[in-house]
Structure 1
Amino acid sequence: MDATALDDKEYKELLEAVRFVYGYDFTEYAESTVKRRIVHFMNTHRIGTPSALGKMLLRDEPLFEEFVQHLSITVTEMFRDPSFYKKLREIVMPQLATYPVIKLWVAGCATGQEAYSMAILLKEAGLLERSIIYATDINQRSLQTAKKGIYPLDGMKNYTKNYLAAGGQGEFSRYYAAHHAAVLLDRSLHDNIVFSPHNLVTDRSFNEFQLVLCRNVIIYFNQRLQEKVLRLLYDSLCPFGYLGLGDKESLFFSDKRTNFEEIDRKEKIYRKIK
């Protein structure tokens, strides 16, 4: 079965059932992406129809958790898009240094690499001890991985390359200890991060932040949902707070574009001005 064979009526009924029973709303995610992932999930589990999938999800909570894991965005790495982090280091860190307490929100943190990257950035700027990083995601399994701070050893070569390209100050290896085929990130990076569930689609703002990162998340939403999430991010920023989006995302078509100053067009860094 491929995504084109997924009937629109059955597709919508499935998402409505999931929203009604579990409170997860995927109805305004980009349809082509969600359909493709649903079909892949059905093929993997040898489930023949969306109605059969729906019945199984509504009575089998572990299967549903796996389904959410499959639909959620979990592709990430440390210092992904190094030039973005280099700009944060050069432009945003000096501004954050002016605050007595620094609050950051990494929205859609997936398995946590972006949050730990920010912790390293803050540590090297001498700001981590007075910072709180709130890292949130819809996906509970991803959050469990993030809290542990344990990642495959074979990713470290790429992470090290990213770190150095992002202007890293020293040896990246000082931030982790290798154990067989895995690495454990240094405890000092954990201490100022709060990992917590948060649904960008249904939940509200929960604090005021000097910096919000929501990178490579809203690209998977339709235009209406993008606007809703951007309003949430706007409401979560303090006056003159900074917003970082992914390289394929933009405020250009947003109603909120006039509320932001473009700090770096290429890196999609903005500052709230009104």
Structure 2
Amino acid sequence: MMNLTQITNGEIDELISLIRHNYGYDFGDYARASFQRRVLRCMDQAGIRSFFDLKYELTNDQTFFNWFLQNLTVNVTEMFRDPMFYKSLRTTIIPILASYPTIKIWHAGCATGEEVLSMAILLQEAGLLERSRLYGTDLNPANLERARQGIVPMQYMKDYTYNYIQSGGKNDFSTYYTARYDHAIFNKELRRNIVFSQHNLVTDQVFNEFQLVCCRNVLIYFNRQLQNQVCRLLTDSLAPLGYLAIGMKESLIFTDVRQQFDVTDSVCRIYRRKT
């Protein structure tokens, strides 16, 4: 990989301005060091050796920008990631959600949709999927297209099955998908009540009211100011007494909204809005 010193802070500012002006995506409040590493990794993968060449490609080649955005915003995801979190949902949260006539859940920053599929399986096993609506949103349209297809590389299924069992799953995990060559295609019935759509946490607004909002391992990519802004948006998206779940290495402690929540599960970072 290229040395970090080969892109200055001024050049990063210039890059952020170019992307905002030409394409409407605003990375200005992303954590600077993480953003810089991702830019350098993209340059390395594309064989681009200078900042001038990067600017040229981004300005003149929409296809390159689409690829750049895909690689810049890709988030690590997996089914039943952090099984303890899903076990907490099974035992603590879902029985309470069952009291609502319609259950609305938002996965913000859903990447390629594995965590949304995991939630659908939890709801199916609780007999609640029919009256649930799951919304998976992401900044990246390529991620969303993959998510809509419900196709997961078969090479991950052994790990996902282990996660599922550790989360308290009782069924044979393979009943939820069909193996086709080197991919697993998840059942249409499981995906029927899922809507995947583009939403930018930086610039877009509240679009519904939810009983549960999951925004896991997304805040770590933002600076303190943007974390505050996004947490306010997530809070405003919750129904009174709704639940917010963030990543197990994230926290509400330094945000403006912390007083609006009671802690439901301190280890799994699940909070309940007070009113």
* TM-score by shorter chain over 0.5: yes
Q: Residue in 1 aligned with 2:31? A: 30
Aligned residues: 274
Aligned equivalents of 1:68, 1:159: Cα separation in 2:
27
TM-score (norm 1): 0.98
Aligned equivalents of 1:62, 1:107: Cα separation in 2:
25
Partner letter of residue 245 of structure 1?
A: I
Query: Is contact 1:10–1:51 with CA below 8 Å preserved after alignment?
Result: no
1:261 matches 2:267: no
The alignment partner of 1:255 has SS state of coil
Aligned equivalents of 1:64, 1:205: Cα separation in 2:
27
Give 1:125-274 correspondences, 5 Å limit.
Answer: 125-274=126-275
Query: What are the Cα deviations for residues 82-132 of structure 1, in whole angstroms up to 9, with x where unaligned?
Result: 000000011110111011011000000000000000000000111000000
Aligned equivalents of 2:238, 2:4: Cα separation in 1:
38
Q: How far apart are 1:16 and its partner, in Å?
A: 0.8
Q: How far apart are 1:41 and its partner, in Å?
A: 1.2
Aligned equivalents of 2:47, 2:74: Cα separation in 1:
23
Query: What are the Cα deviations for residues 153-183 of structure 1, in whole angstroms up to 9, with x where unaligned?
Result: 1111000000011010211010001011111
The alignment partner of 2:34 has SS state of helix
Aligned equivalents of 2:5, 2:190: Cα separation in 1:
44
The alignment partner of 2:99 has SS state of coil
Query: Is contact 1:11–1:50 with CA below 8 Å preserved after alignment?
Result: no
Q: Residue in 1 aligned with 2:89? A: 88
Structure 1 segments, 4+ long, off by >3 Å, are none
Query: Is contact 1:74–1:142 with CA below 8 Å preserved after alignment?
Result: no
Percent identity of the aligned residues? 51
- Which consecutive residues of structure 1, in runs of 5 or more, have no partner in the other structure? none
The alignment partner of 1:83 has SS state of helix
Partner letter of residue 4 of structure 2?
A: A
Q: Residue in 2 aligned with 1:21? A: 22
Partner letter of residue 232 of structure 1?
A: L
Aligned equivalents of 1:9, 1:173: Cα separation in 2:
51
Q: Residue in 2 aligned with 1:115? A: 116
Aligned equivalents of 1:162, 1:68: Cα separation in 2:
29
What's the Cα RMSD here?
Answer: 0.9
Aligned equivalents of 2:235, 2:251: Cα separation in 1:
14
Query: What are the Cα deviations for residues 233-266 of structure 1, in whole angstroms up to 9, with x where unaligned?
Result: 0000000000000011011111110000000100
- Which consecutive residues of structure 2, in runs of 5 or more, have no partner in the other structure? none
Give 1:24-103 correspondences, 5 Å limit.
Answer: 24-103=25-104
